[in-house]
Amino acid sequence: MVYRLLKVELNKIFSRPRSYIGFVAIAILVFIFQLALYVDGKTYLTFLIQQLETNFSIQGNILNGYLITYIILQTLIVQMPLMVALVTGDLLSGESSSGTMRLLATKPISRANIITAKLIAGSFYTLLLVIWLGGLALGFGLWIFKPGDLMVLSTDHISIIPSSECLWRFFAACAVAFISLSVVTTFSLMLSAFSDNSIVPIVTTMAVIIIFTIVGTLDVPLFNNIKPFLFTTHMIVWQKLFQDPISTSTITKSICIMFAYIFGFLSVTYYRFIKKDILS
C-alpha cells in the first residue's frame, strides 16, 4: 500500500507548478554563476589569491570546473532549505488547508502509511533537487571550464585537492548535503503535522533556520555552548570533505547528530498525526 500511496504522492508533487520553482531557480542561478565566472572569473580569482601570490607561485588551471562547482555549491546550498521547505512544509498542511486530507484520511490507509509515503516522496524530491544542483554545477562546470586541481581556501589553511579525487568528493558532498536537507524535510514535515495552513510550516522552517544560522555564526560565549546542538551547525559539514586530510570523525559525528534530529522530528510527526483529530 505504501508503494501505491508513494506513486500517488509523487504524482501530486510533480503535478504542481510550485514543485518546479526550486528546479528553475537552481538552473537560473547556476547559469548566472557560470556566466559571471566565465566572463569575469579571472578577476574574481586574482582578487581572492592576490595575497597568496606574494609568497607562492600558483600554476595551472585554477579557475576550473571543480572550483566553479565548489563555489556554486557553497553559495546555493544555503538557499536549498527554502526550496525544500516550499514543498515538504506543504505535504500534510497543504492537504488540510485544501480539504483533501478529509478524503485521504477516510481511505483504507493507515495514517502512519500516509506519513511514510509523504516522507519518502519529500525525500525523493529533496534528492532530485540536490542531484539537479550538483549535476548542473558539475556538468556545465566541467564542460565549460574543464577539470583541474581544486584549491579550497579556508580562513587558516589552503587545501589542494587533486583533480582525480574531486569527483568522488563531490558525490560524497551531495550525499551529506542530502542528509542535511533531510533534516529540513523532516522538520518542515513535523511542523506541517501541527498546522492546517501551508504557509505556517514553510515560514517557520525558514525562520528557525535563519535564527539558528545567526546564532551559529555569532561568536558569543553563551551561544558557543548551544552551537553543537543546533542542526544548522552540522548542515555545512559537507565542506569538510574538501579538506585534506578529511576529518572523518567530525563528519561522522555531524551525520549522527543529523540522523538523531531526523529521528526526533519523525517521531513527533508520527505521534502527532496519528493522534490528530482531522477537523479541517
| Binder among 36, 56, 99, 199 for other proteins (CB under 8 A) | 99
CB 266 within 8 A of CB 186: yes
| Shortest Cβ 81–other proteins spacing (Å) | 24
Q: How far is the CB of 32 from other proteins (least distance, A)?
A: 29
CB of 18 or CB of 146, closer to other proteins: 18
Measured CA to CA, the distance from residue 103 to residue 96 in angstroms comes to 10
Which of 27, 45, 48, 105 touches other proteins (CB under 8 A)? Answer: 105
Q: Which residue number, 15 or 50, has a Cβ lying nearer to other proteins?
A: 15
Plot region of 60 (φ>0 → left; ψ -120 to 50 → alpha; else → beta): left
Tell me the three state secondary structure of residue 65: helix
36, 102, 143, 229: which one binds other proteins (CB under 8 A): 102
Part of the chain binding other proteins (CB under 8 A), chosen from 61-69, 78-86, 93-101, 241-249: 93-101
Q: Which of 50, 54, 55, 106 binds other proteins (CB under 8 A)?
A: 106
118 DSSP β-pair partners? none
Cell of 25: 531557480
Task: Provide the residue type at 49 as one letter.
Answer: I
Residue from 265, 185, 183, 192 nearest 232 by CA? 183
Closest distance to other proteins from the beta carbon of 125 (Å): 16
For residue 278, the tally of other CB atoms under 10 A from its CB is 14
How far from chain centre, in Å, is Cα 128? 11
Specify the 3-state DSSP secondary structure of 160.
Answer: strand
> What's the burial of 227, exposed, middle or buried (CB within 10 Å: 0-12/13-18/19+)?
middle
Binding window for other proteins (CB under 8 A); candidates: 60-68, 97-105, 151-159, 202-210? 97-105
Between residue 1 and residue 20, which ones bind other proteins under the rule CB under 8 A? 1, 4-5, 7-8, 11-12, 15-17
The nearer residue to other proteins, 101 or 173, going by C-beta atoms, is 101
Binding site for other proteins (CB under 8 A): 1, 4-5, 7-8, 11-12, 15-17, 98-100, 102-110, 275, 277-279
